[in-house]
Structure formats: C-alpha cells, structure tokens
Amino acid sequence: MKKTINNNQNGHPIVGIDLGTTNSAVAFINKGRPEIIPSPSGERIIPSVVHINQQGQVEVGKTAQDALIAMPSRTIAAVKRKMGSEEEIILAGQAFLPHEISALILKKLKEFVDARLGEGDKEAVITVPAYFTDKQRRATKQAGELAGFIVERIVNEPTAAAMAYGLFNLDKDKHILVYDLGGGTFDVSVVEIMGGILDVKASTGNSQLGGEDFDWRIAEWMAQKIQAQHGVNPLDDLRAKAILKEEAEQVKKLLSERDTVEISLPVVLFKDKTPIGLSTSIERNFFEEMIEDLLKETMDKVQEVLTQAELTVEEIDEILLVGGSTRIPMVSRLISQFFGKSPRKDVHPDEAVALGAAVQAGIKSGLLSKSGMVVTDVAPFSMGISVLEQWKGISYRPGGFSVIIPKNTTIPVTRSEKYYTVNDGQEAVSIEVYQGEHERVKYNHHLGKFLLEGIPSNSAGAESIEVKFHYNINGILEVSAKCLSNDREMSVLMQDALDRFSEESFLESTTSLENLWKDVKEDVLSAEEEEWKRFQQFLDDAVEDYEAEDVEKNITELKQEVKRLIKRSKHLLEHASSEESAGLQEIIESLNAVEEMEDVEEILEAINNATDALIELET
Ligand code: AMP
C-alpha cells in the first residue's frame, strides 16, 4: 500500500522539501529513487507566493502569483529573504511573521503529500541555504512545524543537491563543486565523495543574492527610461513597481534563450489620467553588463570555497549547477572559463534540491540504507561568544569575538573553551552568543544570551568557566556554561532563547493559520479590489481607445493612399494605349469601390493589387 512505502521507523511517511525563495517542491523515495510529488493538477514545483483572496482564503502557488500585480497588498513573494527576522508582513490587513508565511507554503505542499501518501502525520526534511544563520534555520523549522510537519532535519541546499547526484554516483571518489544560484540566495559548496561517504568540505555564499536582484536591475533600468521620458518614477507606485518587476523577470528569462528581447508595456501607470507605457528592447550583452558585478561576486565565492576546502581548480572533478538562475548562459560561461571544463547538464536545476532532501529523508528512514551513503555536513559560519579583549596592550575592551566552533567544522560537533573571571568578587557572567566571521561581535549575528550565576566570590582570574557549544546536524546550536570550581551549570538551547518561539506563541500562530486556511469570510469587495476593478476598467478602456485611435488613423492614411493611386492612374490614362486604358480603368474602379469602405483589410488588398498592376504598367 502507498502509505507504507516511505515510512520511517516511527511509521510516519517522511518527505524532503525544498522551500525556495521563488519556487518550492516536495519529494519522497519511491522504489529506491527520489521522486517529486506533484500537485493534484500536475505542477512539479509551485511559486512560493501567498495570497489572501477577497473571501479571506489563502491561496498558494500559481494562483497567488497571478494576483501579485492585481492585489499587491494581499500577496507576498520571496518571503524567504526575510526568514528569521521579526519584520511584520501585512497581508490583507493581517500581520504575519515571515516564518508564518512560509508555513502557509509548506501547508500547501503538505496537501500534495497527503493526497499522494494518505492523511496522517508526516515527517519532513527541509532544506535551507548553507549560509542561513542559526536564527533563519530555526525560523524554517518553526515554519515546518506550524504547517503540521514533524521536522526531522534541516539540510543545506547544496548538500541536498550533491546527495541527489551522489546517490547514483557513489562508486567513484571525486570532488564536486555545487554552485547554487536561486531566486534569492547564492550558495557554493565543495563536496567530497569518498568510499560512499559524502563529505561537505566547505561552504560559503550570500543569503541576499539571487535572481530577484537581476530582476530589479532590469526593473530599475526600465523605470529610469520611463522617468526620463515622462518625469515620473514608476517605482514609487506599488502596482507599477509590480508590473515592472514581473516584466523584468520575463525579460530576464527570455534573455537566457535570445540575444534581444522586445519590451512592450502599453500601461505601467497613469499620469494625469494618461496611460504611460514603455516600448523598448534589451540585448543580452547589456543585461550581462548589468549583472556582471553580482556574478563576479559569486565567482569570488567559488574561489573562496576552494581555498577553504584546500583544493585547486584542477582537483574539482564535477561542477553541478543548481537553482533557476543558473539557466543564465553567462553563469555556465564563467564557470567553464574558471574551471576549464563545462558544468554537468544532467542535474535538474529546479528539482535537485527537493530530490536530495528526499534522499536525506530516505537515509533517515532506512529506505536507502542499501545505498550505503553516509553524509556529513559543515558549519557554514563560526560561532562563539563575546569576550573582553586586550586593547592597545594596556587595557581591556568588551565586544571581542572568541570563536568556539570555527567555520567549516564538520557537524555535528561539540567544542568547549575555558574563560576566566575579570573582576575581583565576580559572581556572575553573561554569555552572549554570536555567529559570524568578524573579530568584533557587533559585526556578527547575535544569537542569544544567558547569565551564569553562583560563581564563588574570588579574586579576578581565579575562577574558570567552561563554555560548551553543541552544534547539531540540523545546524541548531546548544550552549552551556559551567563554573569549574563548583560545577554550577547553565544550559540553553538557542531555540528557546527567543520569546517569539515560545510554546504559547507557537500555539497562537498555529490556531490563527489554521483558521485562515479554512476561513471563508463574507464576499465583500475591499477598497483595494474596488480600486483594482476600476483600474482594470480604465486600463481596458485606455487600450481600446488607443487601438480605436490607431485604426482610425490607419484608415485615414489608407484612404489618402487610395486617392493618390486613383490620381496616378488617371494621369497614366492620359497617355495610355487602348490596351493599357482597359487595365487602368479596372484599377480605378477597384480603388473607387473601396473609397467609402471602413474595412482595413479590403482597402489594403485593393491598394496592394493596384500598386502591383501600376508597377507592371509603368515598366
Ligand atoms: P529557484 O529559487 O531555484 O527556484 O530559482 C528561481 C530563480 O531562477 C528566479 O529568480 C527565476 O527568475 C530564475 N530563473 C528561472 N528560469 C530562468 C531562466 N530561464 N533564465 C534566468 N533566470 C531564470
């Protein structure tokens, strides 16, 4: 029976999820192979867009994406870029946190899973960019739980992509570089496959760089053109901004196939009730210049990850391109130039991560135990605490960063360091936890803090405190501090350090999302929908007027041409032979016949025929 094929030891089916900035997908292991679970209507990936419609119902995916321009204040895309932040997102007048919006996307995927594998509890492995901070990982885990999944593991996206590839390529030892450029994030990892072990050697990236940035570069360029021509900045208008952004993405995608793309937007916004549009074209070369600095940044990261992994360019055997933005031809070109060989073409840029997450799920559930694959990952950033540091050799200043787990340490890992009291009679220490690479904590991410009290009163430096960090396989950190002289200990899972994620607020979120999912409110048009309808009507009328004007202008011009042709024929008639006269009479009659007509096609046909006949007579 379907239900048993993907169960782990607890009896729950387990799936792998790629929760992407732009698109999301879910997969499971079926007969020993990872397989995408499509939506009931057959979509293999869905846009990570959430919309609350006028009935108050949540829509996720393509329908939500279609509403992005029509109802921007009811629709949200690319929420992944805000994950882990406390930034409130107002959607249809309701406030959400980014992980709550992500929960709605995951809830949609859960519907596909339930339809395929049956109702009941489901476990999930969810992927995150390798460069996601601890806070962003926790927010992702929370989103999964809010959606009703038991979140079994958080896996790094490039690791997942390597797993999808590695499952069928474990026989040969090799080094793989995974270049993952999606909608909002960039990750690059070096993975070693050796004796069936898939070992991530190093990982780096930028959690704020991706295809969205390329879209904005085009959108800004289009906006500048409009501003130069009409003196208004369309980016100041929410809807015009959405129109430009959507067009920019389409243009960008087309530029992956073609050298030039025509841009024709009849209406972007209105100025004094007059529609303002944009008609221009863009060349691939120009687009490449626009994004060159961003792609160059990704290549710098490629060099950086090689240095961290202590490998040379020649030691990389395969390059996997993952993420929708790797379809931009310049990406393969830069990679080929850098490595002196082409990247592999057989990985699906949109599906590899979800498939890899399913492989991780399969390893966890034992379904892929025969594959013999073992996977290890690394901490993508350094973690440590704030300490007093010696300053100018004479005094101390706070805010120094003492690293306990260095970047790229294989995980899970437990490391500890000893610290000493700095004041006479000091009975407490504040442990402030950070992650990042800067030697001053203020430039790194603050993860949380706690107080260790009960240290015996003693002279400065006489009491020692052991601070222990345990970084688990999900990339989530547990910190403890112990006074070594009396064994007083304080241990904190960073996850619990944030009030936001308390049990109470979790329940609150679950209930409100649950209600939202089911709730069908009264069918009342909001002011925004009213406005949109008016705008649509105005737009339709404007386009109709524009077209009507165009036809009118055309007919007038055509009729002038008819008159010119009649005049020319009559002029020729004055000196024509009798044979030519008959032909010319016929031409004049056919032109006279259309003189009073309003049908563009007929007039055009008469003009064309007459012109051909006159040319023949004249030569
Ligand atoms: P992902 O986050 O991996 O789903 O990637 C989504 C990103 O890939 C979005 O920014 C898309 O606009 C971009 N993308 C998808 N197809 C193409 C294409 N043919 N050319 C350029 N970018 C693309």
**SS3 of residue 320 by DSSP:** strand
Q: Read off the pLDDT of each residue in 190-216 and give the average, rounded to a whole number.
A: 91
Q: What is the pTM of this model?
A: 0.74
| 357 contacts 160 by C-beta, under 8 angstroms | yes
Q: Do residues 133 and 82 lie in contact, with contact meaning Cβ atoms separated by under 8 Å?
A: no
The angle, 0 to 180 degrees and rounded to 10, between the axes of the packed helices 600-618 and 527-573 is 30
Q: What angle do CA 506, 88, 493 make, to 5 degrees?
A: 40
Which one, of 375, 445, 435, 359, lies nearest residue 201 by Cα? 375
Strand segments, DSSP code E, in 219-331 are: 260-271, 274-283, 318-322
DSSP helix/strand/coil, 426? coil
**For 79-103, what is the mean pLDDT?**
92
Test site for ligand 1: of 17, 19, 21, 22, most ligand atoms within 8 A of the Cβ: 22
Position 544 pLDDT exceeds 70: no
What's phi and psi for 223, nearest 5 deg?
-60, -40
Q: Residue type for 536, please?
A: Q
Question: What is the pLDDT at residue 561?
Answer: 78
Residue pair 46/61 in contact by the 8 Å Cβ criterion: yes
Q: Can you give the pLDDT at residue 506?
A: 66
Q: Where are the domains of the chain?
A: 14-210+296-378, 383-497, 550-619
Give distance in angstroms: CA of 82 to centre of ligand 1.
19
Q: Characterize the bridge pairing of strands 374-378 and 197-206.
A: parallel
Query: What is the CB < 6 Å shell around ligand 1?
Result: 20-23, 182-183, 211-212, 249, 252-253, 256, 323-325, 327-328, 350
Average pLDDT, the chain: 86
> What's the rounded Cα separation, in Å, for the pair 187 and 447?
22
Per-residue pLDDT band at 550 (split at 50, 70, 90)? low
Name the pLDDT band for 123 (thresholds 50, 70, 90).
very high
Q: What distance in angstroms lies between residue 328's CA and the mean position of ligand 1's atoms?
A: 8
Strands (E), 436-521: 445-453, 464-471, 477-483, 489-493
User: What is the spatial distance between Cα 418 and Cα 398, in angstroms, rounded to a whole number?
Assistant: 17
| CA dist., res. 253 & res. 215, Å (int) | 10
Q: For ligand 1, atom 19, which residue shows the shortest CA distance?
A: 253
pLDDT tens, 338-350? 999 999 977 899 9
- pLDDT, one tens digit per residue, over 171-186 is 889 999 999 999 988 9
Ligand 1 atom with the smallest distance to the CA of 249 is 12
Q: Dihedral (C-alpha) 129, 379, 99, 348: value to the nearest 10 degrees?
A: 20
**From the CA of 248, how far away is ligand 1's center (Å)?**
12
Closest atom, ligand 1, to C-alpha of 322: 3
**Ligand 1 atom having least distance to the Cα of 257:** 19
Mapped onto helix, strand or coil, the DSSP state of residue 230 is helix
The partner residues of 555 in beta bridges, in order of sequence, read none
Q: Which CATH class is domain 14-210+296-378?
A: alpha beta
Round to whole Å and give the CA distance between 37 and 357: 13
Cβ neighbours of residue 497 closer than 8 Å, sequence gap 6 or more: 447, 448, 449, 450
Asked whether the predicted pLDDT for residue 500 surpasses 50, the reply is no
Domain covering 383-497, topology: Substrate Binding Domain Of DNAk; Chain A, domain 1 (2.60.34)
Strand partners, 189: 178, 203
More confident residue, 92 or 418: 418
Would you state the structure tokens that stand for residue 157, as one six-digit string?
């996206």
Kindly give the distance from the C-alpha atom of residue 181 to the centroid of ligand 1, in angstroms, as a whole number: 8
